[in-house]
Amino acid sequence: MTLASQYNVDSGLLGLGELILMQIINEIQSIKDVVQVIGVCKKTFILKDHERFFKVMVYKTDPIQYQFIIPEVTAGKQQGNQFIHSHKDIDNCSILFDPIVKEGIVRFEVIFENNEGFRKYIGIADQSCSFAVDDRPWDSGSKFFVYYIHI
């Protein structure tokens, strides 16, 4: 099938029906994006009354605006939503984020690039923990952290 008409979907996206549209909304992560889909026209706006709509919306989140707390400028820099390590040395690099997560579930993604041959750690620590820029999690002696290793 190479032509849109061969898919037999009348009225474009609306022709898919409410169950398929609810599945699409289920896959969308951001509340703002769901609002845009729902607000397109009257036919999609009625999806807010669908029995599955509330269940789907419970797990939606909006991105948290955060700022990197970089203890030393020599460690690297923030570039948009990325931390770029300076690579001036091969020592460890600990960075923190503000705001502190106080409750709920937060999705956090870390991508390690161009660091073949080095161990990679990511961890979650209590706000009472303090790290120097080149510390590893276990160097602080604190019991209030969890870390994961990927070699």
pTM of this prediction exceeds 0.75: no
Is pLDDT above 80 for 49? Answer: yes
Is pLDDT above 60 for 8? Answer: no
Between the two ends of the chain, the Cα-to-Cα distance in Å is 45
Span 12-43, pLDDT tens digits: 666 667 777 778 878 887 778 888 888 777 77
